[in-house]
Amino acid sequence: MKKEKIYLVLENGEYFAGDSFGGDFETVYGEVVFNTSITGYLESITDPSYCGQILVQTFPLIGNYGVIPEDFESERPWLSGYIVRDWCETPSNYRSTQRLDEYFKKENIPAMSGIDTRRLTRIIRNNGVMNGMLTKKAPPYSNEELEKIKEYTCAGVVNRVTRKEAKVYESENPKYNVVLWDFGTKENIIRCLTQRGCNVTVVPADTKAEEIKSLNPDGIMLSNGPGDPQENKGVIEELKKVCEYKIPIFGICLGHQLLALSQGAETEKLKYGHRGANQPVKDLSCGRVYISAQNHGYAVVDSSLPEHGKLSFINMNDGSCEGVKYTKFPAFSVQFHPEACAGPLDTMWLFDDFIKLIEENK
């Protein structure tokens, strides 16, 4: 069967011609980012942190184990588009329920295959992250079309991905009550908490500080999520109030950035971000290096941290801030994902540290 041609057009005018699979569309815009993970494509596809982005997988063959709903990180995919070198049309896995293109058709996510994804990745690495357009329209492209690509922004994405009402997840052996502030949380954060004896109440991003306090939590978890952290001014103001309650806090990814912003620190956009399962981070308390999974385009500026915010982890590739420990109130946060699926799990112990922090402050 002949495949329909589609095009990825970058804001600098470069374009790639490939084959369409997945959902039907005419034109889709997004921030083009790449992920270097070899496994875990289902977790990436369903990670809310990719909302508003066109995700490029550098690993050449994607879809070989099909679609496995039990491995999803949220109920649906949030990304704007998906790009691979080759997608496997005949997956082989006893847990698979359907092919990747069937899933994308059901969820109406446009996807593209048959391009040199590593060349595309080099362009992003050399020039920095840029916007792109997936389109059925063949070249050439006008200045007006390129300008429209440049104007695209990932705005309002936290409000899009956060749940609309609170939900409770109960542990089989409950010991603690934890509020998970949902900015686009991954399901495995919930699992990691319930496995450690926490009943988890997941609340929407627009929840007020007083509402969180009224739930009498033993601890507060700040989730991952998409977009520019500085855009979430309402959350930052409420988080500032929450910190005054001195309830133990653990922040991951966007939650880490929002916690820093609430304490007067600054964030900056990275050239092309960290997205993959092979990012080395150094624990400054002992000098040990861990391999971590990451998915973010912004970072906390460590030189802007307040006196009560101590740098705890750094990225070994570029020296950027990967973790902060606070001394004025019981809280710590990390930029990477200790709950990562499909891994690595080197830093899963941070959830145990959170439990210890809760116990110390009861």
Question: Catalytic residues, which ones?
Answer: 253, 337, 339
What three-state secondary structure class fits 170? Answer: coil
Instruction: Write down the residue that tokens 């690495």 correspond to.
Output: 125
Query: With contact defined as beta carbons under 8 Å apart, do 269 and 257 qualify?
Result: no
Stated as kind and residue range, the H or E segment containing 260 is helix 254-262
CA distances from 361 to 201, 222, 244, 247, 330 (A): 19, 18, 14, 8, 8
Whether the link from the prior residue into 306 is cis, omega within 30° of 0, is: no
Q: What is the chain's percent helix, strand, coil content, to nearest 5?
A: 25, 30, 40
- Count CB atoms within 10 A of the CB of residue 173: 9
Instruction: Write down the residue that tokens 């941290």 correspond to.
Output: 305
CA distances from 295 to 166, 174, 334 (A): 25, 31, 12
